[in-house]
Structure 1
Amino acid sequence: MVSISEVLLRKVQLVGGSTLAISLPKNWTRRVGLKPGDYVFIALESDGSLRITPKSRERPKKPETVLTIKREFSKGAVVREIMSRYLAGYKVIAVRFEGEAYRYRRYLKDVVYKKLIGVEFLDENVNEIVLQVLVNVEELPANTILRRMGRIASGMLIDAVESLDSAVPEKLVDIVERDDEVDKLYLYVLRQLNAVSRGYLKLNEVGLMGIEETLQYGVVAKSIERIADHAQRIAQCILEMCEQKMVIEPSMSDTIKDFGKAVRELFRDAVKSFVNRDRVEAHSIIDSAYQKLTKYEREIIDAMVASRTNAYANMLLRLIVDSIKRVMDYSIDISEATLDLTVKD
């Protein structure tokens, strides 16, 4: 039996004086049921490789799956089960509730609305909900999705740090809620990359040049999603300070704001260098990041030492500074992914 991961060597033969041909592995043809006279699809990938698929094994247009929610499932388990099927590429997900598990219905519907792109409720009764994914994963190239994620996360970050000395609760709540949009796009691009790795989509349909690039694109998407989470945390900390009527000394807030703005520029440049495959810019971002961190870290420590802010406010400020530093770390990860993406033999 031929292993799925086995690489076979075949000699190219000249047939009919001008046609080049190779033989197909016998074990493979038996396993997929291929016979003389059958047709196969040959996909020309952008990395120069070929993908051969028997016509009889053409992927169904609307693969379906059934998920049974048992009464002992936690809310987290319900979400993870739904997400795994969404990422696997299913177009129709039938969710059936066992016993008292129906109590998760409202929670499940809220999660689907907030976290999944293009998912609609096709049918619904007391014991079952049927979800249909209407959006096709090839409709948006991967770079377009990453740019969109980057713009939203960048906007969240700058709006959050700007609120440090001029907090408006409604604006901060809006920043917190914007994280759902980034999560939607993150899950969408993972579904897309998974479809490529499984052979459901060709590389050029999503803008990739090689199957190995799915790794770098996954790393960058995850980094942007985490950056949005930290922007959300900054907004939540400032919202707490606002509700507690805490006053931050101007020197402290100005220093943290300057740090946040500098890191936000780093993040924007990192995303831009990745989608543009700019290796030189990626090196520049990594080199300058550590210089900026050293400069602002010293200024922030000095400001905190001189500050008269109470202990609870200082704790929230430390959380904000830590999140900004994490954004910088993830921006470096994006730049390193750019180097991995553009390395030449």
Structure 2
Amino acid sequence: MAPWRRSVQETGGGSLSITLPKGWAKTQGIGKGSPMLIVNNEDGSLRLIPERGGKEKEVSCAIISNSPTLVRDVVGGYLLGFDIIRLESSEPFPGETVAEVRRAVRRLSGAEIVEELPRRIEIQVLLDPEVVAPEKVLRREGTLVESMVADASAALLSGDVRLAGSTAERDEEVDRQYFILVRMVRSAIRDPEITRRIGIHPLRLLDMRLVARFLESSGDEAAAIAGLVGEVGGLSEKTRNLLANLGNHALDLVRKSTSSFLSIDPSMSPHIFSLFKETRDLVQTIEGSLEDEDSASGMVVSKVIPRFERIAENSIDVAELTPSILVSASVSQK
């Protein structure tokens, strides 16, 4: 759409004013006396936002037809911020499909099946993006991933299958926190007033979305490590100590990179990058020690090592987001 051009007028008392485009004002329901918010952007431009505090929130509905991608479409509708997700089919839904939908909905925080008929299933999402604080969601996700990495490492060395199972179960809760944050970000993109009301800059919110994705990926890696518990046989004491050290490094990287991002503290970055280098060196040392292990155990350890590496790489990606936030903040204060 082409921009409108207006000339600035001077009113009484030295104030300056411009007129609003008539068509735009009509579309937005703006008339004489309508309250407007004027936001000063970091680049010096101004943003006009109609104040809609008195209007009821419109309920958005996604209608999804039965297909092989039905469950994936349900998750997509949730992430896109729809309030109601209605599933329809010309034939009764198979029992297996209904069960899959139920499992998917359980993974989506705030989502409930409110109607279940043979040819129609309606899901309602009662999650207000302005009620849940993004920082709390991200901190919760980070804490879950930390516990998963710690327990996956401990279970791997002890052969504790029960602890490994508990670790894998937490992966579903990590997904729930990730989905909440993605939904919040997309809702804020559709309605810029949300970021103003929750007091978070849109760029910061987008960075949170990235961090949540890195954490979710690290949770998947920890769950994969837990899945290999029981396959590792009698390792030498040297290799066991090296693996324990590798697990501790991965845990420290997750904890410190997440803390650095949430506290916007770049002073932690040098230590985090130094820790990452130590992790890389540890990986090389472990790979060299596998020649002394039996082939079966060595093969399992060779599957574990890349998982810890990816956790470390995800943590570095999180840490690298902190400096850019500070640059943005310093610009806004000028």
**TM-score, structure 1 length as denominator?**
0.85
Aligned with 2:242 (options 237, 250, 255): 255
Aligned with 1:53 (options 50, 53, 58): 50
Q: Which residue of 2 aligns with 1:229?
A: 220
Query: 2:92 aligned with 1:106, yes or no?
Result: no
Letter in 2 for 1:191: R
Letter in 1 for 2:295: N
Separation in structure 2 between the aligned mates of residue 255 and residue 33 of structure 1, nearest angstrom: 63
Separation in structure 1 between the aligned mates of residue 60 and residue 285 of structure 2, nearest angstrom: 57
Aligned with 1:274 (options 249, 256, 261): 261
Deviation at 1:51, TM superposition (A): 4.0
Q: Secondary structure at the match of 1:234?
A: helix
CA contact (8 A) 1:213 1:341 kept: yes
Aligned pairs for 1:137-152 within 5 A = 137-152=129-144
Q: Secondary structure at the match of 2:13?
A: coil
Q: Secondary structure at the match of 1:93?
A: strand
Q: Secondary structure at the match of 2:229?
A: helix
Letter in 1 for 2:175: D
Q: Which residue of 1 aligns with 2:60?
A: 63
Separation in structure 2 between the aligned mates of residue 58 and residue 287 of structure 1, nearest angstrom: 53
Query: 2:313 aligned with 1:334, yes or no?
Result: no
Q: Which residue of 2 aligns with 1:39?
A: 34
Separation in structure 2 between the aligned mates of residue 149 and residue 46 of structure 1, nearest angstrom: 31
Stretch deviating more after TM superposition (147-156 or 275-284) = 275-284
Residues 121-146 of structure 1, C-alpha deviations (whole Å, 9 max, x = no match): 21111111111112212222211111
Q: Which residue of 2 aligns with 1:219?
A: 210
Deviation at 1:226, TM superposition (A): 0.2
Deviation at 1:78, TM superposition (A): 1.5
Q: Aligned pair in 2 of structure 1 residues 127, 283: CA closer, same or farther (>3 Å)?
A: same
Separation in structure 2 between the aligned mates of residue 139 and residue 65 of structure 1, nearest angstrom: 23
Deviation at 1:306, TM superposition (A): 1.9
Separation in structure 2 between the aligned mates of residue 57 and residue 11 of structure 1, nearest angstrom: 32
Letter in 2 for 1:267: V
Aligned residue pair count = 326
Q: Secondary structure at the match of 1:238?
A: coil
Q: Secondary structure at the match of 1:163?
A: helix
Query: 2:114 aligned with 1:122, yes or no?
Result: yes
CA contact (8 A) 1:283 1:335 kept: no
Q: Aligned pair in 2 of structure 1 residues 300, 188: CA closer, same or farther (>3 Å)?
A: same
Q: Which residue of 2 aligns with 1:24?
A: 20
Q: Secondary structure at the match of 1:229?
A: helix
Q: Which residue of 2 aligns with 1:316?
A: 300
Separation in structure 2 between the aligned mates of residue 298 and residue 147 of structure 1, nearest angstrom: 32
Unaligned runs of 5+ in 2: none
Separation in structure 2 between the aligned mates of residue 234 and residue 165 of structure 1, nearest angstrom: 11
Unaligned runs of 5+ in 1: none
Separation in structure 2 between the aligned mates of residue 224 and residue 35 of structure 1, nearest angstrom: 43
Deviation at 1:298, TM superposition (A): 3.3
Q: Percent identity?
A: 22
CA contact (8 A) 1:92 1:131 kept: yes
Letter in 1 for 2:102: K
Letter in 1 for 2:17: A
Deviation at 1:19, TM superposition (A): 4.6
Separation in structure 1 between the aligned mates of residue 272 and residue 295 of structure 2, nearest angstrom: 36
Deviation at 1:147, TM superposition (A): 0.7
Separation in structure 1 between the aligned mates of residue 308 and residue 25 of structure 2, nearest angstrom: 55
CA contact (8 A) 1:216 1:340 kept: no
Aligned with 2:161 (options 169, 172, 195): 169
Residues 197-243 of structure 1, C-alpha deviations (whole Å, 9 max, x = no match): 112643244452x222333122111000000000000000114x17x
